[in-house]
Amino acid sequence: MQEQTPSQVQELICINVEKVYDWVVKDMSFEFSPSSPISFPGLPVDAIVTGANISCQVVPSVNNPVVIMNRENRTFTIDGTSVSLQQLTIQKNFTVTICITLVNGTTYTSNGFEISRCEHVVMCAPKGTNVDVTYTNLDCFVCSTGPFFNNGDGTITFENLSLSIAVCQSIKSTFPVTVEFLADYCEPRADLPFACSPVSRPNNCSVVYP
């Protein structure tokens, strides 16, 4: 009898995985205008902010970046078939910072401040499933500034600052399951051969010379 190598031996295996119930990719954009003075650590009391350049950055909030506020069962008709889906109310929490670069080239970054936005998403996410939101892109840019003033206490007041935030997001509903399948054992690949590269010279440009 021919002996089988480890890679030829199959075994019935049970593993724990996450079953994906639904998966959507969508974008969201919104504008935000801070109304209170914003703190900039290290900003001199006499710093001249006239003519400064303003930019912003946004990241998911460290605490509770995504909260599922509500999960409502609703019936939809899709291609003539009645389907029970869930309308999710999702709250997304972000931390925004503002950077101000003075005309002398010095940059100051504000303390981060929290903002939240909610949206509805319809998908197959029955009670008991986990809803995971990941960001494939998260961007912030300044739409308009308007006049802004150094208050002399480490803060700046923006009278008409408008920040535009664009979000590309992947939303999945999942549930842990145990699956069974027949699998082959794996073997390591062969080591890569290593040798010094041969001496080379640049190619001629024979089209133009000689």
For 26-52, write each residue's pLDDT tens digit.
888 999 998 889 999 999 999 989 889
Lowest-confidence region among 117-121, 138-142, 165-169, 188-192: 188-192
Average pLDDT over residues 173-189: 88
The SS3 call for residue 8 is helix
Peptide bond connecting 202 to the previous residue in cis, omega within 30 degrees of 0: no
Tell me how many degrees the CA angle 132-133-135 measures, rounded to the nearest 5.
145
The span from the CA of 57 to the CA of 134, in Å, is: 18
Q: What is the pLDDT of residue 11?
A: 87
Spatial separation of the C-alpha atoms in residues 67 and 191, rounded to whole Å:
47
User: What distance in Å separates the CA atoms of residue 88 and residue 71, rounded to the nearest whole number?
Assistant: 5
Would you state the pLDDT for residue 203?
Answer: 74
Which residues, other chains included, contact 150 with Cβ-Cβ below 8 Å and sequence gap of 6+?
A: 43, 45, 46, 47, 48, 49, 156
**Closest alpha carbon to 94 in 61, 131, 123, 45:** 61
Residue 6: pLDDT band by 50, 70, 90 thresholds? low
Residue 33 CA: distances (Å) to CA of 145, 146, 202: 10, 11, 57
Q: Tell whether the model's pLDDT for residue 171 goes beyond 50.
A: yes
Q: Are 88 and 127 in contact (CB under 8 A)?
A: no
Confidence of residue 132 (pLDDT cuts 50, 70, 90): very high
Domain residue ranges in the chain: 18-174
Residue 176 has pLDDT above 90, yes or no: yes
Residue 1 pLDDT: 46
